[in-house]
Amino acid sequence: MTILKHPDFTTPELANAPDARFVAAPADGVLPEDFFSTTNLPTYVRINGKWLMPREPRMDSALVLGADGLWVKEGRKLKKGDMVAVGSAEDGGEGIYVHSGSFFGEEEEGEFKFMTSEVSREKPIDYAQMAHILIEERDRGGYPIWVTGPALVHSRARADMVWFIENRFVSALLAGNAVAVHDIEAAIFGTTLGMTRTGEATTGGHGLHMRAINKVRAAGSIAKAVEKGVIKDGIMYACVKNNIPFVLTGSIRDDGPLPDVITDSVAAQDAMKKHTTRATMAVLIATALHAIATGNMLPAFVSEPDGTMRELATICVDSSEFVVSKLKDRGTHQAFGVVTNAQDFMHILRLYAERELTERQALKSPTQTSKTPA
């Protein structure tokens, strides 16, 4: 867990920086021409001589000052007249300081080394550490969000995902229609996209996911389908039974969709944001679209109530280096890439989590024999 430092505001550059300048939005959903475009890094805005951090930090948005304080807001949410920070300097020279040094700071590059690429299938994966972070987050009352693609369900990591849900490692599940459809197809018919548990395509199987969708549409919602006994196991079932919130966002690729899907992509982003602003950890598995969408909304750091900051642990799992590189290329520098098969990832991560839990249990409950009186 990397602890991040606040900048030193006593340096002449920052001590003598001017206040940030704010300009009114010219129309609803339109920013002033030279608005400051945010990053996901710790950002400080000088207002009346004080450095403030905005609430709900994320990248590709604007700094908006209102009666209720300083916020990061998407341009489309602005009303005409909202006061928006302007400028492009990130070094405090225009009253805004982006503390990139906390992340990229001190690296020196002047050496001949092997194996310096950031993401590679040739690098070791530290499952023990990832399991440890996850358990720590759960036990400190953190808010780990999981963002998954359908490969998780195709490849029968369903049982492992259910285990993580039931053991309270999942504070919210963000996914698309397909994850829920295939999970429910598996619950009802035992197949995913008509493929059996052992990977065989079946005759007539191409219609089974459509039949699954239709059954949920008939029931009215996933929760009602669980209630009525249409869905009896799986990921969505576990979410409903354990009161874990899920956000199913729509895409043009969706069949159906299921009644729970938020088909409007702007409304869907807002629904996701309710969770990204609370997130203290993110696990992104086998989905380029949802991983990058979530990465766009996540700050790179967590602010604790006591004012300390730490890196927001972000794990991105994919079969190729490409998705993780793409995520980093779009600003989610803190992502830790794991290049492997989603099924295998889930299985081993669970194994290591179970091991650590068993060890912790062993430490907590020493054998009682020592109490035996003489």
Residues numbered 308-367 forming contacts with a second copy, rule: CB under 8 A: 319-322, 325-326, 328-331, 333, 339-341, 343-345, 347-348, 351
Q: Are 6 and 101 in contact (CB under 8 A)?
A: no
Residue 370 binding a second copy, by CB under 8 A:
no
Nearer to a second copy by C-beta: 138 or 339? 339
Report the nearest approach of a second copy to the CB of residue 254 (Å): 6
Burial of 182 by CB count in 10 Å (0-12 exposed, 13-18 middle, 19+ buried)? buried
Tokens 């780990």 -> residue: 144
**41 interacts with a second copy by CB under 8 A:** yes
Residues 55-84 that bind a second copy (CB under 8 A): 59-60, 75-76
* Residue 186 CB partners (closer than 8 Å, separation 6+): 153, 158, 192, 234
Q: Which of 85, 186, 272, 283 binds a second copy (CB under 8 A)?
A: 272
Task: Assess 159 for contact with a second copy (CB under 8 A).
Answer: no
Three-class DSSP category at 296: helix
Candidate list 73, 138, 275, 290; residue touching a second copy; CB under 8 A? 290
CA 260/CA 122 separation, integer angstroms = 40
Provide the minimum distance between the beta carbon of 219 and a second copy in the complex, in angstroms, as a whole number: 9
Exactly one of 54, 234, 256, 299 binds a second copy (CB under 8 A); which one?
256
Those residues whose C-beta lies under 8 Å from the C-beta of residue 14, and which sit 6 or more positions away, are 7, 8, 51, 92, 97
Q: Which helix (H) or strand (E) holds 86?
A: strand 83-86
What are the DSSP calls for 188-236, one per residue? HHS-BTTB-TTS-B-TTGGGHHHHHHHHHHHHSSHHHHHHTTS--SSHH
Determine if 8 is a binding residue for a second copy (CB under 8 A).
Answer: no
Residue 126 interacting with a second copy (CB under 8 A) = yes
Contact between 111 and a second copy per CB under 8 A: yes
Residue 373: asked if its preceding bond is cis (omega within 30°), the reply is no
Nearer to a second copy, 131 or 268 (CB): 268
**120 counts as binding a second copy under rule CB under 8 A:** yes
Please give the Cα distance from 128 to 233 (Å, whole number): 29
In this complex, which beta carbon is closest to a second copy, that of residue 138 or of residue 212?
212
Residues that bind a second copy (rule: CB under 8 A) add up to a total of 108
Nearer to a second copy, 39 or 138 (CB): 39
Choose which of 7, 142, 194, 245 interacts with a second copy (CB under 8 A): 194
Between vectors from CA 196 to CA 190 and to CA 198, what angle results, nearest 5°?
125
Segment interacting with a second copy, rule: CB under 8 A, options 12-20, 224-232, 282-290, 305-313: 282-290
